Amino acid sequence: GKSGYDHYMLKEIHEQPSSLRQCLRGRVNELQGSVTLEELDAVVEQEFASPVQFVACGTSYHAALYAASLLQQEETPATATIASEFTTDRVPVNDGSLVVGITQSGETADTLRALREANRAGATTLAVTNTVGSSAARAADHALYIRAGPEIGVAATKTFASQQLALLLLSVALTGRSSHDDIQSLRRVPDQVQTILDTSSARAIAAELVDSQAFFFIGRGMHHPVALEGALKFKEITYEHAEGFAAGELKHGPLALVTEDTPVFAIVTGDGGTARKTISNIKEVEARDAPVVVVTDGVSDVERYADHVLRIPETDECSAAVLANVQLQLIAYWVANEMGRSIDKPRNLAKSVTVE
Ligand code: F6R
């Protein structure tokens, strides 16, 4: 059942501290500053000649974008491709390639086809999935389980968070790069998510913004996939127009849509170059009178430019991307709830998409 929650989605959002703990269990060694993914020993030892290629659909594609950024940050070339756009003629794959299909259900037709084509071309394949024994787990040479537990709500919430964390582990395992600090921040994520669930002001903010015309989400670097995911979740369950952009892209077109009726959600953490640049983009939308909601750790002075603030605990940018997403899940949920939408079963959508 829903354990007292009005919807499975809210229950599953609240299960994240425990599902994230499950994802980490037995996989991180704080003393050695290392990550062990037993099921992937063979993959980790292999050398790959071409970039690591992540393929996925929908929310899982946002996890793929995040994973590619994690590897690129460690100077390991990586790409993310929408599974339905992945063909071995356009994306070169051979026996020196590693192709990683990310699919929580393990049954998404587009992702299965990409994995099977990659297999035929001789690539090493890995499925990152929630479902033991799923078609993806069987189609790929290797499987990494995200251990999120069953998800009933059609909108992916806890499975996305667990994909992010599992992909953080995978990137440490593949690049062999990690410090004691990195491992400690991984370890802290479940408790930090709990802090957000206990303190979020998303419900009150949602009530104020519910009558808007459209909703925009911006982020840069690790927070770009989070902006895309924030918008996808929002449109799925509210049926309102929502779009996510790379913060720097606003001025290349979307800014034309920004008015006092289009709230802009911006993710800003730390106080480095990435944060400074996103703050400049926030000033551009503020000048058009758009309500600005910032998701921030409070390290920079971004709150000066915000109408509303969604606080997350301070951590590194990679882990912050997991935390920021939780605030945006809550925003989508509370706006949809305010509008009386069918949150667990949005119109026209199915939990697993088994046609191409
Ligand atoms: C959005 C959502 C979908 C799925 C997509 C892929 O909330 O759930 O976008 O992410 O259909 O599903 P999986 O991960 O099962 O391959």
Could you please report the per-residue DSSP string of 146-177?
Answer: -------SSS-SHHHHHHHHHHHHHHHHHH--
Q: Whose CA is nearest to atom 11 of ligand 1?
A: 58
pLDDT for res 90: 75
pTM for this entry: 0.97
Angle between helices 317-338 and 58-73 (to 10 degrees): 160
Q: In what order do the strands lie in the sheet with 308-311?
A: 242-246, 215-219, 264-268, 292-296, 308-311
Q: Which two tokens stand for residue 330?
A: 């809550």
Residue found under tokens 């077109």 = 253
pLDDT for res 45: 86
DSSP 271: S
Residue 277 catalytic?
no
On the CB side of 124, CA atoms within 13 Å amount to 17
Compute mean pLDDT per 10 residues along the chain, 356 residues long, and list them. Answer: 95 98 93 86 88 97 98 94 89 89 98 96 97 97 97 96 97 84 91 98 98 98 98 98 97 95 98 98 96 98 98 97 98 98 91 86
Q: Are 183 and 34 in contact (CB under 8 A)?
A: yes
Q: Which two tokens stand for residue 298?
A: 């409070």
Round to whole Å and give the CA distance between 212 and 68.
34
pLDDT for res 92: 79
The yes/no answer to whether this complex scores an ipTM above 0.95 is yes
The amino acid occupying position 51 is: P
Q: Cα dist. 130→16, 34, 289, 305 in Å?
A: 14, 23, 42, 39
Cα(57) to centroid(ligand 1), Å: 6
pLDDT for res 34: 86
Helices (H), the chain: 8-14, 16-24, 41-45, 58-73, 109-120, 135-139, 158-175, 180-199, 202-209, 223-238, 273-286, 317-338
Round to whole Å and give the CA distance between 171 and 68.
9
Round to whole Å and give the CA distance between 68 and 58.
16
Q: Whose CA is nearest to atom 9 of ligand 1?
A: 58
**From 108, 158, 341, mutation site for ligand 1 pocket: most ligand atoms within 8 A of C-beta:** 108
pLDDT for res 197: 98
DSSP strand pairing (28-29 vs 34-35)? antiparallel
Round to whole Å and give the CA distance between 254 and 270.
25
pLDDT for res 49: 86
Residue found under tokens 């410090």 = 179
**From 12, 60, 238, 333, mutation site for ligand 1 pocket: most ligand atoms within 8 A of C-beta:** 60
- Residue 78, phi then psi, degrees to nearest 5: -155, 150
DSSP strand pairing (292-296 vs 308-311)? parallel
Q: Are 297 and 315 in contact (CB under 8 A)?
A: yes
pLDDT for res 221: 97
Cα(12) to centroid(ligand 1), Å: 15
pLDDT for res 325: 98
Backbone torsion region of residue 313, taken as left when φ is above 0, otherwise alpha when ψ lies between -120 and 50, otherwise beta:
beta
**Which of ligand 1's atoms lies nearest the C-alpha of 111?**
16
Number of neighbouring beta carbons within 10 Å of residue 225: 27
Cα(305) to centroid(ligand 1), Å: 34
